[in-house]
Amino acid sequence: KKAGFIFDLDGVIVDTAKYHYLAWRKLANELGFEFTKEQNELFKGVSRKRCLEILLDIGKIKATQEQFNTWMVEKNVDYLAYIDQMNASEILPDVIRVLKFLKDRDIPIALGSASKNAKPILEKVNLLPYFDSIVDGNNVTKAKPDPEVFLIAAKNLEVDPSLCVVFEDAVAGIQAANRAGMLSIGIGDPNILSEAAFNFKDFTEMSDSFLESLLNQNK
Ligand code: G6P
Ligand code: MG
pLDDT in tens, 71-130: 999 999 999 999 999 999 999 999 999 999 999 999 999 999 999 999 999 999 999 999
10 is catalytic: yes
Query: CA angle at residue 187 from 85 to 76, to 5 degrees?
Result: 35
Cα–Cα distance measured from residue 169 to residue 174, given in angstroms and rounded to the nearest whole number = 8
Of 8, 57, 78, 189, which residue is the catalytic one? 8
3-class state of residue 206 by DSSP? coil
The CA distance from 196 to 218, in Å, is: 20
Beta bridge partners of 168: 186
Report the chain's terminal Cα–Cα distance, integer Å.
8
Q: Which ligand is nearest to the CA of 140?
A: 1
ipTM, interface predicted TM-score of the complex: 0.98
Q: How far apart are CA 16 and CA 122, in angstroms?
A: 11
**Amino acid, res. 65:** Q
Closest atom of ligand 1 relative to the 75 alpha carbon: 16
Confirm or deny that 10 is annotated as ligand binding.
yes
pTM score, two decimals?
A: 0.94
| Residue 10 scores a pLDDT above 70 | yes
Q: Which of 20, 149, 192 to mutate to test the pocket of ligand 1 (most atoms within 8 A of CB)?
A: 20
Tell me whether strands 164-168 and 4-7 are parallel, antiparallel or unpaired.
Answer: parallel
Residues whose CB is under 5 A from ligand 2 (ion)? 8, 10-11, 169-170
| pLDDT score of 218 | 53
Share of the chain above pLDDT 90, in %: 94
Task: For 51-80, write each residue's pLDDT tens digit.
Answer: 999 999 999 999 999 999 999 999 999 999
Phi-psi region of 136 (alpha: psi -120 to 50; beta: other; left: phi over 0): beta
Strands (E) in the chain, as ranges, are 4-7, 109-112, 133-135, 164-168, 183-187, 198-200
